[in-house]
Amino acid sequence: MEQTLSIIKPDAVQKNVIGEIISRFEQNGLRIAAMKRIQLSKREAEGFYYVHKDRPFFDSLTTFMTEGPIVVMVLEGEDAIAKNRAIMGATNPENAEPGTIRKDFAESIERNAVHGSDSAESAAFEILFFFAGMEIR
Ligand code: ATP
Ligand code: MG
C-alpha cells in the first residue's frame, strides 16, 4: 500500500466540486486516510511549493493557493502516487485526457483544480507538511 498527498485547490473548492473530485478517487480504488479543509498563508504556500521557488510562476502560484480554502488529503492504495496522477490528468488542462479531473474542472495551467505528489520522496515531504502521524488512519 502506498500513500500520496492530494490537494483540491482554491479554484475547485470555489466551484463547489469537492464531492465530485473525491468520488473520482474512491471510484478508482483510492481510500482517504486523512482529510482537512484549511486556508494557506502565503508563507505556508511558499514552503509547500519550495521546489518551484526559482520558476517564473512561483509568486503567482503561491498567491493563487492562498486565495481561498483548500482540501488536503492523504490518499492510500496500490500505486497511489501514479494512480492519482493519472486520475488528475496533465498539468495543462488543454493537454489532459478526457475523463480526468483537470480536463473536467481546471481553468488554466495554473488554476488546475488539484495537486498530487509526483514521487515517493515528495509524497513523504508533503504528507508530513500537512499531517501528524496520528491524523492518518
Ligand atoms: P502539482 O504539483 O500542483 O500536482 P504538477 O506536478 O502537474 O502539479 P508542476 O510542474 O509541479 O505541475 O507545477 C506545480 C503547479 O504550478 C501546477 O499544478 C500549476 O498550478 C502551476 N504551474 C505549473 N506550470 C505553470 C505555468 N507555466 N504557469 C503558471 N502556473 C504553472
Ligand atoms: Mg508537481
pLDDT digits (tens, 9 = 90+) for 47-66: 999 999 999 999 999 999 99
The verdict on the CB of residue 122 being under 6 Å from ligand 1 is no
Nearest atom (ligand 1) to Cα of 90: 7
Which is the catalytic residue, given 5, 115, 123, 130?
A: 115
- The reply to whether the predicted model has a pTM over 0.85 is yes
Q: 102 in ligand 1 pocket by Cβ < 6 Å? A: no
- Model confidence over 10-57: pLDDT tens digits? 999 999 999 999 999 999 999 999 999 999 999 999 999 999 999 999
Q: What cell was used for 41?
A: 498563508
57 Cβ inside 6 Å of ligand 1: yes
